[in-house]
A = this chain, B = another copy of it.
Amino acid sequence: MPSLNKVFLMGNLTRDPELRYTPAGLGVATFNMAVNTPAGKDENGNIKTETLFVDVVVFGRLAEAVGEFLTKGFPVFVEGRLRYRTWEDSNGIRRSKHEVLANKIQFLSALKNMPAEEEERQSNFMVEISGDNDVPF
């Protein structure tokens, strides 16, 4: 039973992320990102763009970094796995959706329009928590 589940995305946050904590004190950040993919050409030869919107979930110290540093519009690189979550909504209806459980996030615009000391602060934090992130489930 060989198995593999790997996702790589680069795109921009569509809104500010949300940071919560589990009862056990583990950080959980969620955000939505937009990924623009060139997707063929239209009749006039112009490149069409297909936009993927996808929710991303991240845990632990990486979640805290996301909550502290990322905002709407920020460009990020995400490595993680696809996840299919099913739950019952408040009306008792069975619902389900795909999302990405991230184990690695790179801030691509730590590079841009940012005071040097803030860039250094982010960079230090990211190095400190570097490596693939533990994913609790």
Cβ contact within 8 Å between A2 and B108 = yes
Number of interface residues of A (CB under 8 A): 50
List the B side residues contacting A132 at CB < 8 Å: 132
Known pairs A10-B77, A77-B10, A112-B111; A4 contacts B38 (CB<8 A): no
Contact of B98 with A2 in the complex, beta carbons under 8 Å: no
Main secondary structure of the interface of A (DSSP, over half): strand
> Is A54 close to B, CB under 8 A?
yes
- Chain B residues with Cβ below 8 Å from A1 are 12, 36, 75, 123
Chain A residues near B (Cβ < 8 Å): 1-12, 35-40, 47-48, 50-54, 75, 77, 79, 81-84, 97-98, 106-112, 123, 127-128, 130-132, 135-137
